[in-house]
Every structure is written in structure tokens, then in C-alpha cells.
Chains A and B, each alone.
Chain A
Amino acid sequence: MMELLADLAGGFAVVLTIENLLFCFAGVAMGTFIGVLPGLGAMLGIALLLPVTYYLTPEAAIIMLAGIYYGGEYGGSIAAILINVPGTPSSAVATIDGHAMTKQGRAAVALFVSAVASFAAGSVGIVLMMLFSPLIADFALSFGSVEYFAVLLLGLVGAASVGRASVIKSQLAVILGVLFGTVGTDVSTGVQRFTFGFPEFITGISLVALAMGIFGFAEIVSSTEGSAGAQGKARIRLRDMLPARGEIRASFAPFRRGTALGALLGALPGTGPTIASFMAYSLEKRVARDPTRFGDGAIEGLVAPESANNAAAQTAFIPTLTLGIPGTATMALILGALIIQGIQPGPRLMGENEELFWALIASFWIGNLFLLVLNIPLVGLWVRLVRIPYRFLFPSIVCLISLGVYSIELNIFGVFVVVGTGIVGYAMRVSGIPAAPFLMGFILGPPMEENLRRALMLARGDFTVFVTSPISAICVALAAVALAWPVASWSYHKLKYRARAT
């Protein structure tokens, strides 16, 4: 324990120089802003700043880039809550109850709760990283294709419960999402599916472009008049931000569940903040005493996913730094920045570059504190954003989305994908098919298929592997119960009704 504190103190000593503090602040501030702006995400921010890091020390470089990453998780939900357009795909789920709160004139509360939940969950993530990195990394390695498939299956079964549409329409949305996910090269065979001769589709439909189309463009097309919150107050005081006492009490359990789920899924390479936030939401809705409140501004529906994605954003560093295995594309970029600095990430990184590791941890604390301090006073400013009439706000958002999607690949094709999926999203809206389960199907479907086929190839076609592994058996059983429950309860009621009728 003493050693741990000494290491951490050493880390703080590195971070608490004017220069590194400045880079940390620059990182989180920039992360928040690009997180807020729809279409611009941490990925783009890091890619843009990467060439700059050639001229920085390794510590300054990674502190800044990491700040952009977790700062983006904070910022992403702001636009989702206020204008129903998620800043990043991982905050898409915050549109559901977060935006419902804005419509009730409680935007300030939603933003405050989101910032506090993010900070608290991020802190838990950092503590886990400090204490148990090697342990968690070992645990992550116990996940093979079989386990990944089972976890993703469970997520997919829960996907339909995200959103407030009817079960049939939600299931339809999930299936549509899975179908959109099949576009691109099949990982197992190399066969191209539904690419229609466009080389851009070889690697599939871009998640950012799709999320911005389905949520962003569709929202903009369907609401062409007015502004989101004409009733918003001009001046926001702290009192306006605090949730009701009952809500605070109701937030603790969702916070714990969201953080735990987020920390777990973040540490697994291959799942990440986006999957974590969606699964946290569907879990919350399932355990809720009154699930019908979800979608109407239930505080649990905001706290759980916000905790989950920020906990995941921190624990995602564990496999990246201890194993040298980045879980997401953004993490791969951060690893890239280390390689540029001549540091080869791998199992020896923590041993050989101990100072760097602890400096990063210390910078997480400081960065999260910066974010909290930055975000609470800004709530008043953000809330005023919704008073901007749509005729000014939406054209700017369209520009931002297009710009962001274009700059990632310098290819106009991405913008066409946004427009195309935007039309799909609008059609779905008109016919009452919810967007959130669609996005979840799109995100979970491809890795689930990939891991299913891989698991079966490794087992040479033996399906029993999914029940012989304990982790997988539990997940498959839970998924089966979740699937069977509505049917069982429906037939039970039907039987009871019939028994009474006769």
C-alpha cells in the first residue's frame, strides 16, 4: 500500500509541472469540446494532434491524448441531452432519458447529474486501474471467443429493451441494425458482403457516420421548427442543477451497476464505452420496479449509462498499457503515439516505464477534476444552447457532422453515408422504429457473428463449448431467461385468464 502511494506520489510529481498540467488541461478541454460537437470525436481529435506529439515528451504526449479521450466521453452526452443529437456514438443512449429531461425543462439537472456520475465512475475506474491492473488484465485474457460471443449475445438480447417503442418494433430495429452491420468484408472468409462495388464499404459502414446519420440527420429533418427548450431559464444557479432528494437516492444503485458493468466491459479488449453504456441502460430497465418510466426522463436511465461509459473509458487503458493490446481504434491511436515516442507497448511497459504509467494515472485524477470543474459552471452556458432557434443551430450541426465525418478519412463518401443513413433514420422515425436498438444491433452484431464462428472453428463445430465455459454458461442462461420471460409471463396470464373464464 505504501509503495502504491509512493508510486502515485511520483506520478503526481511528474504531472504537477506547469507544462504537463497545461497539456492535461488542453487535452480534457479539447476533448469536451469535440465531444460536444456532433460528428467530431476523440478519434479525430487524437488523429489531428498526433503529429504535434512528435515534439513533446512522452509524458506530455500521452497525458494530452488520454485527456482528449476521456474528455470526449464527458462531452458527448451534453449534445445528446440538450438537442437529442449525440456528440459521440457512446452517448447515443443518453438521448433517451437525458433529452426527455430537457423537454421537461430540467436540462440543467440532467447535465449536472451526467457530469457528477461521469466523475464518480471515472474515479472508480482509476482506482481499479491503480490497484488491480495486472489482475484485471489476466481476467481479460480469460475471455476467449466463446465468452465474447456469450457476452455479446446477452447484450443483443437486451438491446430491444433500450428505447420506448413496442417490443416488436424494437426487435425489428435490432435485426435491421445487425443487417447493416453485415456490410463489409466477412472476417472469417474474406468474402465481401453488400459492398455493391464500393471499395469504401470493404471495411464496413463507419460507426460514426451511421450514428450521426441515424441520430443527427434524422433528428434535424424531423424537427425543423422552433427550438428545443424555449422554457429554459436565462440564469442557472446551483439550485437549478440539483436533482430532487428522491432522485439522488434512486441514483446510487444505477450508479453502482453502471460503473461495475462499464469497468468490466471497458477492460475487455473488443468491448468498450459504447457497448457498456447501452448494456447498462438495458440492465437498468430490466431491474427497474417500474420500467415504463424509462424514456420519460427517468434519472436511472441517465445515471447508469453515463457511469458505464466513463468507467469503461478509464479501464480501457488497462489492456492497452499492461498487455499492449488496445481494445478500440482510439486506444490503438494512443498506443501509436507511444510507439512514435519510441516506447514499445507490451507487458513490460509498466515495469520499464513505471514513471510514465503513474504519471498517466495521476493525470487521470487531475484531468477528471478539471472536467468536473470545467463542466459544472458550463452547464449554464450549455443550457442556453437549446435556446438557439433551430434555423441557426441545425445548419451548423449539419456542417459539423459533415466536416467531422469527412476529415476522418478525407473522403466525401463518409458524408454520403451520413445522408443515406439519415434517410433510413428518418424513415424509421416515421414508422416508429426506435434508433437506439438499431445502433446497438449494428454495434453488437458483427463482433458476435465473428466470435461465434471463431469459437465454433476452434471447437471444430462442437456447440457444447458455450455451456462448458462458466462465464459463457451464465451469460447464455441469462439471455435465455431474458428471452423466455416475456413469453412465459404472457402465457401465464393467458392461462390464468382462460382458467377464470371457464
Chain B
Amino acid sequence: MRGILRTLAILPFMAGAAVAQDYPTKPVTMVVGFSAGGGMDTLARMAAEPAGEALGQQIAVENRPGAGGTIAPGYVANAEPDGYTIWLGETAATIGPVVHGDVGYDPIDSFVPIAQLAVAPLALVAGADVEASNIQEFVDLVKANPGQYFYASPGVATLQHLAVEALADEAGLELDAIQFQGGSPSMQALLSGEVSFAVVSLNAARSQAEGGNVKILGVTTAEPVPGFEEIRPISDVIEGFSAAPRQFVMAPAGTPDDAVQALRDAFRTAMENEQLREDLSARGLVPTYIDGPDLAEELPGVIETWSETARSVLDN
């Protein structure tokens, strides 16, 4: 019924275009799990503009923060799958069911991937007084002093926490997590010398490192971050290590194929926009476009890897 009404309502506007195409006929809402002003919100607003242009309809950003970003996917998963409500998600939310229990969605079954937009590199950093300035020295130092060092984690089972645990596991290191609420308090603890190490966003790490307050040991992406090749990836020392949060767009499962296709085309076009790629890079993100079908293939494995680490961390 709603569909019919909607069609009736837009009939006058379609008089000129006699095509059978009936998506999109109104603005699309892109839901973000974080408040306005955060990194995810910025990404959403920057991507929404060119993607909306390519789609031929405005993409409006809607913030539904709460529960560590898991309210938004729960909302989108249960929204009408008509292509007018989509979710800008990130890896952390996909392990929500493992971390928080029932959150009202399944990261794989509840969604159709539209596109991956970017990867947010994390950096392993050490306090200015710590006697390690690269990954090898970090590994040697912690190995020589097992159980002596603390690192700041912005919350239990956050990707930052899991990344260090996975790293410690692979390198055979013993170091203890101290939990904080978010990235800023953990950076504060590192600056005050309360902890020796932390994992923070590359951007935050760079600004503190330039001020001489911290040392960047390495990034968690498998490859060096374009433009910052002097910062080595952790995988230089620990082979195969890769733990970077991804940002992607998803539609609720059951969204009509033509809408999914139109959205995929729109975000592909947007990601070809040089200005957008520059804007993302300037904010510490690496534009890394992955097409919907490829993402659909890749994502389950990624989610499983993170979930496994999360389970082992939570069991302890």
C-alpha cells in the first residue's frame, strides 16, 4: 500500500521520464552509529554528497548513536528493505553479536554489502620515554620483560584491544591491557606515562608524534599507508599481521536488486571522485574501494577472524 501511494505521489514528476526505472524516487537515508562530529560521521557526510549526486537523489546522513555503534545496524537491519535506508558500518559493529550478545542483527545474514569505502589504519604507539622506537625493538623489549608492560585499550573487545591481543598472541608476547573509555583517555594515559603503549588512530598518533609526545612503532595495515611510507607496517616483523578497521555501506537484506545495483554504482562513482579520496586521506583514512559482490565474499572471513580473537579475549 505504501509503495502504491509512493508511486502515485511521484507520478507527476515522472511524466518526462518514461523509463521503468523506479529507484530512487526520494532521498536515501544513510544511518551512522555514532554522533555527529565523530570520524564515522565525517566519512558519512563526505561520501554522501558525491554518492548522492551519482544516484540522482540526495543521501541524508542520520546519526543513531548508542551501544558502541550497534544501535544503528540493528535499526537498519529491521528497516523496510526498499533501498531508502542504508547503513554506513564498520568492522567493530560486525562483531557486536559476539561482544554484546543479542543486538538485533546478524552481520552477514541481515545485510547486503554495497561497497567498502575506506580502511582506518591504527598505529601502535609508545610513550616518549619507552625504550622502543620500532616494532622489532617493541617485540624484543616486551619479550625481555614478560608481564611487565601495560598498554591502553579504548574498551574491552574494541578493535584496538583485539589488534594488540592478536599481535601478542602471534609474537608470543606477555603484556597487560588497561581499559579506558575511548581513544582520548587512553592517549591521556600514554602521555602521562601511566601506560607504556597504546593503539590509536594513525591520525591521532601522528599529531602526538609530531609534538614529540609519543613514538609511532608501526601501523596495523598489511601495507604501508600511502603518503606515510616511513611508518612501517607491523607485518614487517610479524608476518601476515593485518588488523585495520574497514568502513563500508550495507543495505538491509531483501533490498530489491535494482536498488542494490543503483547504490553500488553510485558509491563506485563517488569513490572515483578525486576530491573525496583526498578529503578521506587528509583525515587519516585510506580510500579502499571494494565492490559489493567482492566485499560479500571477503567479509565473512574477516568477521570470523575478529570474532575468534574477541571470543578468546572475552573467555579469559
A interface, CB within 8 angstroms of B: 46-48, 50-51, 54, 141-145, 185, 187-190, 192, 197, 199-200, 202-203, 269-270, 319, 323-326, 329, 332-337, 339-340, 342, 344-349, 408-411, 450, 454, 457-458
Contact = CB atoms under 8 A, between A and B. Distances in A.
B42 A336 contact: yes
Contact of A144 (B156, B194, B213): B194
18 contacts: A51-B36, A187-B155, A190-B157, A199-B100, A199-B104, A203-B67, A324-B204, A324-B208, A332-B38, A336-B36, A337-B37, A339-B42, A339-B283, A344-B203, A409-B65, A411-B64, A411-B66, A457-B178
A448 B213 CA distance: 27
Given A185-B156, A325-B187, A339-B283, A454 B178 contact: yes
Given A144-B194, A187-B181, A458 B150 contact: yes
A348 B210 contact: yes
Interface stretch (B18-26, B68-76, B260-268): B68-76
A347 B179 CA distance: 23
A199 B181 contact: no
A141 to B, nearest CB: 4
Nearest to B62: A410
Given A324-B208, A347-B208, A411-B66, A54 B45 contact: yes
Contacts of B65: 408-409
Given A199-B67, A348-B207, A47 B188 contact: no
Given A325-B191, A344-B206, A410-B63, 4 more contacts: A51-B36, A141-B192, A185-B100, A346-B207
B300 interface: no
A197 B207 contact: no
A46 B63 CA distance: 13
A152 B141 CA distance: 35
A410 B63 CA distance: 7
B241 interface: no
B174 interface: no
B66 A203 contact: yes
For this complex, into which size category does the number of interface residues on chain B fall? Answer: 35 or more
Q: Which 9 A-B pairs have the closest CB atoms?
A: A336-B37, A190-B156, A346-B207, A347-B211, A202-B67, A333-B37, A47-B36, A141-B192, A199-B67
B231 interface: no
B314 interface: yes
B103 A190 contact: no
Contacts of A329: 35
Interface string B280-316: 0011100000000000000000000000000000100
B211 A346 contact: yes
Contacts of B74: 199
A73 to B, nearest CB: 19
Given A202-B100, A411-B66, A340 B179 contact: no
Contacts of B240: none
A333 B35 contact: yes
Nearest to A407: B63
B42 A409 contact: no
Contacts of A347: 207-208, 210-213
Nearest to B42: A340
Given A325-B187, A336-B37, A47 B63 contact: yes
Instruction: Name B's interface SS.
Output: mixed
B41 interface: yes
Nearest to A142: B192
A408 B66 CA distance: 10
B211 A202 contact: no
B169 to A, nearest CB: 18
Given A192-B101, A409-B64, A332 B37 contact: yes
Contact of B184 (A192, A325, A454): A325
Contacts of B62: 410
Interface in B158-185: 176, 178-181, 184-185
B86 to A, nearest CB: 16
A47 B101 CA distance: 29
A200 B207 contact: no
Interface string B81-109: 00000000000000000011111100000
Nearest to A349: B207
Nearest to B210: A348
Contacts of A48: 36
Nearest to A350: B211
Nearest to A65: B37
Interface in B252-284: 282-284
B39 interface: yes
A348 B211 contact: yes
B189 interface: yes
A185 B154 CA distance: 13
Contacts of A411: 64, 66, 71
A243 to B, nearest CB: 40
B70 A144 contact: no
A187 B161 CA distance: 13
Nearest to B70: A199
B194 A458 contact: yes
Contact of A269 (B100, B188, B212): B188
Contacts of B180: 187, 454
B281 to A, nearest CB: 11
Contact of B314 (A141, A190, A408, A410): A190
Nearest to A189: B156
B64 A202 contact: no
Nearest to B182: A332
B66 to A, nearest CB: 5
A346 B208 contact: yes
A334 B211 CA distance: 21
Given A199-B66, A324-B204, A409-B64, A192 B37 contact: no
A349 to B, nearest CB: 8
Contacts of B181: 187, 450
Contacts of B194: 144-145, 458
Contacts of B207: 324, 344-349
Contacts of B67: 199-200, 202-203
Contacts of B283: 339, 342
Contact of A203 (B39, B68, B211): B68
Contacts of B39: 339
B20 to A, nearest CB: 34
A323 B191 contact: yes
Contacts of B314: 190
A270 B148 CA distance: 27
Nearest to A147: B192
Contact of A332 (B61, B157, B184, B284): B184
A325 B186 CA distance: 10
A222 B115 CA distance: 54
